[in-house]
A = this chain, B = another copy of it.
Amino acid sequence: MFKKLVSLDEAKQIIARNFSLEPVGKENLQLKQVYNRILAEDIVAPLDVPPFNRSTVDGYAVKAEDTFGADEDRPLALKLCGQVRVGESPKVSIEKGTTAEIVTGAPLPEGADAVVMYEDTVQRENTVSVHASVSKGENVMKAGSDIHKGETVLRNRRMLGSYEIGVLAALGVIDVKVYKRPRVAILSTGAEVVEPGEPLPTGKIYDINAYALSAAVIECGGEPINLGIVEDESQKMETTLKKALSMADSVITSGGVSVGPTDIIPEILDKLGKPGVIINGIAMKPGKPTTIALVNGKPVFSLPGHPTSALLIFQLLVRPVIVSMAKRPAEEPRTVKAITRTKLFAARGRRTFVTVYLTKNKSDRFIAAHVPLGLSGAITTLSKADGFIEIPETQQFIDEGEEVLVHLLKPSLY
């Protein structure tokens, strides 16, 4: 088993080269279920919206030319020949010199090409006096003026929010093809971890990673399958990884990838399929003991056991892969400029990530203050941190008061 550290940038390149990042499939869902999903087809309008010429006011449907010249002093008289109600097919048609009462939203009867508003008319029995002229199309919303039949109205990969769902409803489309959410199996290893909710014997700690990583997977459009804790023993691990790979599109493990005698996962991954391990160790702090494999087309990420390290590697390397498998729009990395509050030191020869929280100074500039990693085991670190600063491999420190780029960790969700 090779164990050659690669830089973070090399790791990104190796991932890009090896992973095809195709969507995991498509599925048809009912319109009520598609909120926040990704459209997997172009939507071509099967009908005009509106499907007919609609009146936009309450009044009288007319031939516009019958009103030409009408004003307050010289009203023109039209013969009332019926009424058009909303939601009904008109039972009348408008001949020269005739009109029909119409309400907002009702379809224009045949022969009519405009509507005179009530305010501009006086009705006496079967005669309507028109006190203002209208031009052709006035107070009418033409068929297809919102959406033309045959028009491509929503494109493949569009995220479906309330507006897009409104467009689909307008077209009567209730069966919608969307991309499947990638199923991501998540498991924790290590003799010291215990399932939250169980009693905690001396020497044990509760498993953080399976829960935190499951939530992170939802956050980027995946569907987590929390397989819980697997004993750090070769045969059991192989069985569980096989099961995980058979039921999911990707697998994330955490823990068990240390320098100790329990480093069994890379060997198993190599055995389970091709090409196997493609990255085994990254020159960064925290996050060094990270293994990444491709097993018969499925990405497997074996992250460090320390929660902060695991979540940082997730954000940097796993998240873009799941987002891409989910066919969600690629996320722009969100950054802000800030001034460091204290001098920050790098780990020798390794890309160092320093977690920081942000405040603002009197001049409204961001100040980045270090949130200590608590020896990289502290889960509270990341819940307090707003983002992180990268210190390149070649640099030994960042000085107090220096301007830096802070990569924001928390997507604003709503």
User: A: which residues have CB within 8 A of B?
Assistant: 31-32, 35-36, 47, 49-52, 54, 56, 58, 85-90, 103-107, 141, 145-147, 153-154, 159-175, 190-193, 196-198, 200-216, 218-221, 226, 258-260, 305, 307, 311, 328, 331, 374-375, 377-383, 410-414
- CA–CA, A32 to B207, complex, Å? 13
Looking at chain A's contact residues, is the secondary structure mostly helix, strand, loop, or mixed?
A: loop
Inter-subunit contact B383/A167 (CB<8 Å) = yes
Which residue of the partner chain B has the closest CB to A198? B172
Residues of B within 8 Å of A380, CB to CB, are: 49, 146-147, 153, 167
Would A215 and B161 be within 8 Å (CB), given that A166-B311, A203-B106, A377-B141 are in contact?
A: yes
Inter-subunit contact B211/A169 (CB<8 Å) = yes
Inter-subunit contact B414/A221 (CB<8 Å) = yes
Residues of B within 8 Å of A145, CB to CB, are: 374, 378
Residues of B within 8 Å of A383, CB to CB, are: 154, 163-164, 166-167
- CA–CA, A414 to B174, complex, Å? 25
Inter-subunit contact B162/A216 (CB<8 Å) = yes
Inter-subunit contact B215/A165 (CB<8 Å) = yes
Q: A80 → chain B, closest Cβ, in Å?
A: 18
- CA–CA, A164 to B382, complex, Å? 9
- CA–CA, A173 to B200, complex, Å? 12
- CA–CA, A141 to B192, complex, Å? 15
Would A205 and B414 be within 8 Å (CB), given that A105-B190, A378-B146 are in contact?
A: no
- Of B172, B196, B202, B377, which contacts A173 at CB under 8 A? B196
Residues of B within 8 Å of A375, CB to CB, are: 56, 141
- CA–CA, A383 to B170, complex, Å? 12
- CA–CA, A377 to B218, complex, Å? 36
- Of B31, B87, B221, which contacts A190 at CB under 8 A? B87
Inter-subunit contact A163/B196 (CB<8 Å) = no
- CA–CA, A214 to B162, complex, Å? 8
Residues of B within 8 Å of A165, CB to CB, are: 211-212, 214-215
Most buried by B among A146, A193, A210: A146
Residues of B within 8 Å of A169, CB to CB, are: 196, 206-208, 210-212, 379
Inter-subunit contact A196/B174 (CB<8 Å) = yes
- CA–CA, A382 to B165, complex, Å? 11
Residues of B within 8 Å of A106, CB to CB, are: 192, 203
Q: A218 → chain B, closest Cβ, in Å?
A: 5
Inter-subunit contact B170/A86 (CB<8 Å) = no
CB-defined A-B contacts under 8 Å, sample of 12: A32-B211, A49-B378, A50-B205, A51-B200, A52-B203, A105-B192, A161-B410, A162-B216, A166-B311, A169-B207, A169-B211, A170-B307
- Of B219, B260, B307, which contacts A58 at CB under 8 A? B260
Inter-subunit contact A206/B379 (CB<8 Å) = no
Inter-subunit contact A190/B413 (CB<8 Å) = no
Residues of B within 8 Å of A192, CB to CB, are: 86-87, 105-106
- CA–CA, A47 to B198, complex, Å? 14
Residues of B within 8 Å of A311, CB to CB, are: 162-163, 166
- Of B89, B105, B221, which contacts A202 at CB under 8 A? B89
Most buried by B among A161, A216, A374: A161
Inter-subunit contact B31/A213 (CB<8 Å) = no
6 shortest interchain CB distances as A-B pairs: A166-B212, A87-B191, A87-B192, A162-B215, A163-B383, A174-B197
